[in-house]
């Protein structure tokens, strides 16, 4: 079946429908990863967005029940150059197309994803609509695209109630992990280091965390504009004002920056992929990282009396990490649990363990 992708700038791409045959309006973003499409689709940080895969062949190893990063996919739409009709892998359980259909993710293939990515890079992330309608009025679609905004996503993706991920072996520490759109491997990276992890809903009060007997708190990744989360930011400030060790990633990193007086801004096209170079300033070392974010902490608004920039993006110089003057508190913009190295940046979890009194070679 034919399908079309209409962008907010009026550009129309024609291709073939994949996945669900439903009209879908969302924010279109691109990801430069060559693999990991199932993990990308199930990353809650993509709530409200349609994903354009810049790599031309997607779906070639199928999907399986083990690689989900959350309970379900959160992406609204999926755009590829070519969708493999079958998966060739000993772990393959189904095709990607069937997976998209089962989860009501609309998609399109057979378009020039290189041209589409160049538009999003040069003109910025923009809304788009995928439709299977044979006839449509572009001006009517543009009205829908102008009205669409990604919002309320943290409430959509967070766990409805707290649950526990037990330590893999002997329990050494108890950690509260605030779920703003957490990926499963984040809790697993703590659990295998001897932490019993309590995953808490996003709007959990700081007073509950501080009264819970935890040794540390982690703030997770998540979707949307960080500045929209005013109530959460107020609770994060209370956690910062305590003595509890804090480690924050992605959205959590941005929320803590906002809670301490810095500002965030929307990027032109964001960082999404598994190949982003980041320099650890203190170590003088560069790491290849996995990233998924459209907002960034504005370096000029970070009070040097509060925090220092610890990591920077080698490509564009944006803030990738903050080391706070307050003891045992640090954050990063990238995903150390996502294993692009595959374990190059897991030293950050070891650092968090050390901040709770453990050893760095945990």
* pLDDT tier, 309 (very low <50, low <70, confident <90, very high otherwise): very high
Q: Compute the distance between CA of residue 180 and CA of residue 44 in angstroms, rounded to an integer.
A: 9
The 10s digit of each residue's pLDDT in 13-43 is 999 999 999 999 999 999 999 999 999 999 9
Question: Does position 358 have pLDDT exceeding 70, yes or no?
Answer: no
Instruction: Read off the pLDDT band of 338 (50, 70, 90).
Output: confident
Average pLDDT in the 135-151 region?
Answer: 94
More confident site: 101 or 360: 101
pLDDT of residue 359: 53
Q: Above 50 in pLDDT, residue 218? A: yes
The pLDDT value recorded for residue 362 is 36
Distances (CA, A) of 46 to 104, 223, 241, 306: 15, 6, 31, 31
pLDDT of residue 339: 73
If we measure between CA atoms, which residue out of 314, 276, 317, 280 comes closest to residue 293? 276
Q: Which residues contact 147 (CB under 8 A, 6 or more apart)?
A: none
360, pLDDT greater than 80 = no
Q: What is the mean pLDDT of residues 129-149?
A: 94
Residues 257-271 have a mean pLDDT of: 97
Question: Domain 155-355 falls in which CATH fold?
Answer: Rossmann fold (3.40.50)
**Complete DSSP assignment for 266-329:** EEEEEEEEEEEEEEETTTTEEEEEEEEEEEEE-GGGS-TTTEEEEEEETTT--EEEEEESSSSE
Q: Above pLDDT 70, what percent of the chain?
A: 98
The arithmetic mean of pLDDT across residues 63-81, rounded, is 96
Return the active site residues.
250, 335, 337
- pLDDT mean over 85-94: 95
Yes or no: is domain 2-150 CATH 3.40.50.10860?
no
**Torsion over CA: 106, 112, 116, 118 (sign):** positive
> How is the chain split into domains, by residue range?
2-150, 155-355
Q: pLDDT > 90: what percent of the chain? A: 95
Predicted local distance difference test score (pLDDT) of residue 343: 73
> pLDDT (tens digit, 9 = 90+) per residue, 32-71?
999 999 999 999 999 999 999 999 999 999 999 999 999 9
């Amino acid at each position: 079946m034919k399908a079309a992708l209409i962008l907010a700038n009026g550009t129309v791409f024609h291709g073939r429908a994949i996945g669900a045959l439903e009209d879908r309006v969302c924010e279109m973003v691109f990801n430069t990863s060559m693999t990991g499409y199932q993990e990308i689709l199930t990353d809650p940080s993509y709530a409200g967005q349609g994903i354009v895969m810049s790599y031309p062949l997607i779906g070639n190893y199928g999907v399986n029940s083990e690689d989900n990063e959350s309970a379900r996919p959160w992406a609204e739409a999926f755009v590829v150059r070519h969708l493999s009709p079958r998966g060739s892998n000993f772990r393959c359980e189904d095709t990607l197309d069937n997976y998209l259909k089962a989860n009501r993710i609309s998609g399109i293939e057979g378009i020039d994803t290189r041209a589409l990515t160049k538009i999003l890079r040069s003109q910025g992330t923009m809304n788009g609509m995928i439709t299977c309608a044979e006839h449509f009025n572009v001006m009517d679609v543009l009205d829908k695209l102008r009205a669409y905004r990604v919002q309320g996503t943290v409430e959509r993706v967070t766990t409805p109630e707290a649950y526990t991920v037990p330590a893999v072996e002997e329990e050494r520490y108890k950690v509260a992990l605030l779920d703003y759109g957490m990926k499963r491997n984040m809790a697993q990276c703590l659990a295998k280091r001897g932490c019993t992890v309590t995953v808490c809903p996003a709007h959990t009060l700081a007073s509950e965390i501080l009264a819970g007997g935890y040794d540390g708190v982690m703030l997770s990744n998540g979707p949307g504009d960080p500045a929209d989360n005013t109530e959460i930011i107020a609770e994060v400030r209370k956690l910062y004002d305590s003595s509890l060790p804090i480690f924050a990633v992605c959205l959590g990193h941005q929320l803590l920056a906002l809670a301490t007086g810095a500002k965030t801004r929307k990027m032109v096209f964001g960082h999404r992929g598994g190949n982003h170079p980041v320099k650890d300033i203190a170590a003088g070392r560069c790491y290849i990282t996995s990233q998924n974010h459209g907002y960034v902490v504005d370096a000029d608004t970070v009070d040097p009396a509060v925090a220092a920039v610890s990591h920077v993006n080698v490509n564009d110089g944006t803030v990738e990490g903050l080391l706070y003057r307050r003891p045992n508190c640090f954050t990063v913009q990238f995903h150390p649990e996502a294993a692009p190295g595959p374990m190059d940046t897991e030293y950050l979890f070891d650092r968090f363990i050390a901040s709770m009194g453990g050893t760095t070679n945990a």
